[in-house]
Amino acid sequence: MTRPPLDPPAQRVVVLAGGISHERDISLRSGRRVADALASHGLQVELRDPDATLLPALLADRPDVVWPALHGASGEDGALRSLLEFLGVPYVGSRAAATRLAWDKPAAKTLVERAGVPTPHSITLTRDAFRELGAESVLAVVRGELPGELAVKPAQGGSAQGVSLVATDDELRRAMVQAYTYCDVAIIEQRIRGTEIAIGVIDTGDGPVALPAVEIEPLSGVYDFEARYNAGETRFYAPARIADDVAERATAIALAAHQALGLRHLSRIDLIVDGAGTPWFLEASVMPGLTETSTIALALEAAGHDVGWVYAELAQAAIRDEVGSRKS
């Protein structure tokens, strides 16, 4: 990322933060940090909560670019991005179609598997199927195919909300109920024990570049919501304490997943490295957390990049992409 100074520069950026998802507070923290970083590089930044006044405001006074620092469905299910595309307003992040695919974890797993990326063996179950076919019968079939420790999570959502790690049948039953409180579809997948890492992928116009892998060591042993966003609950190592050849494989997988899902500008690919050194794809985030405890900022620092400059370059990349789409 050695592009020349922004020319012409983005002048006015609207950062969207908050929303109505379970991750509202995290989004507000991410949005403030993005706004501060952009302002530190001379951009005029407006931080606003998306509401009924947003679209009329964008039509009446169009910004140069929008940065949707929204987590959860309000920012990652593709709906808002589709509207921004209809308005012709440049925005940072993946296009609506790619966002919808990444937001749906079973769809994302299928796409990255087709690209040759290893993912844990899993099954996807709807709430209706779970009830109509009988919970005990369903779980008996699942247990026959997926013995041992499992991870249960909502098919949509982020920040590990609704995620449970289970070892017994009773824990599995409770985990299904927990997952269904967040989404009508749940994934049950084989738990892979190992080193959790996150790899950020940045593309400011010269093609996707993987940032150094960040190792995640939650003090509780589980990287849950509290461990992600409460300072002191997790140790981070940037770069990750993994062998060079493992880091190379993980980087290749992160880039393959980013490209298989059709993502752009910024993503975070979550992986786990097993005892044999094999990295496994877990999920992708199209708008990763950008708070003080998030991995993207740590990775940018480890790579020697100035966070504000990179964010400003991403804003400029969004403008270039919009101009390019109009010409095509």
- State how far the Cα of 11 lies from the Cα of 260, in Å rounded to an integer: 33
Per-residue pLDDT, 326: 64
Structural domain ending residue among the three candidates 172, 190, 208? 190
What was the pLDDT predicted at 123?
A: 96
Name the more confident of 87 and 162. Answer: 87
Residues 33, 109 within the same domain: no
Average pLDDT of span 244-257: 98
Whether residue 303 has pLDDT greater than 80: yes
Give me the pLDDT at residue 162, please.
81
Whether residue 72 is found in the same domain as residue 204: no
Q: pLDDT-derived band of residue 159, with 50, 70 and 90 as boundaries?
A: low
Question: pLDDT at residue 233 above 80?
Answer: no
| pLDDT (mean) for 226-237 | 73
196 lies in the same domain as 186: no
Query: Quick one: pLDDT at residue 270?
Result: 96
Flag whether 69 is in a domain. Answer: yes
Q: What is the mean pLDDT of residues 217-222?
A: 75
Question: Is the same domain home to 73 and 218?
Answer: no
Other beta carbons within 10 angstroms of residue 303's beta carbon come to 17
- Asked whether residue 77 carries a pLDDT value surpassing 60, the answer given is yes
Q: Tell me the sheet residues that pair with 156.
A: none
Output DSSP code: residue 2. -
Q: Which of the four pLDDT bands, split at 50, 70 and 90, describes residue 161? A: confident
In a domain, 21, yes or no: yes
Residue where a domain terminates, one of 167, 190, 213 = 190
Mean pLDDT of the chain: 90
Instruction: Answer with the one of 286, 304, 320 that is the final residue of a domain.
Output: 286
From CA 55, how far away is CA 74, in angstroms rounded?
Answer: 14
Q: Which domain holds residue 158?
A: 122-190
- 18 and 153 assigned to the same domain: no
Which pLDDT belongs to residue 277? 96
Same domain, 141 and 197: no
Token digits of residue 316: 């400029």
Predicted confidence at residue 6, as pLDDT, reads 47
CATH of the domain at 185: 3.30.1490.20
Q: Do 194 and 321 meet the contact criterion of CB atoms below 8 Å apart?
A: no
Provide mean pLDDT across the span 59-69: 95
Q: Is there a contact between 155 and 185 (Cβ–Cβ < 8 Å)?
A: yes
**CA dihedral sign of residues 307, 313, 315, 318:** negative
Closest CA to 165 of 48, 282, 268, 285: 282
Beta bridge partners of 125: 186
1-51 per-position pLDDT tens digit: 444 444 445 689 999 999 887 778 888 999 999 999 999 988 999 999 999
Residues 79, 141, single domain; the answer is no
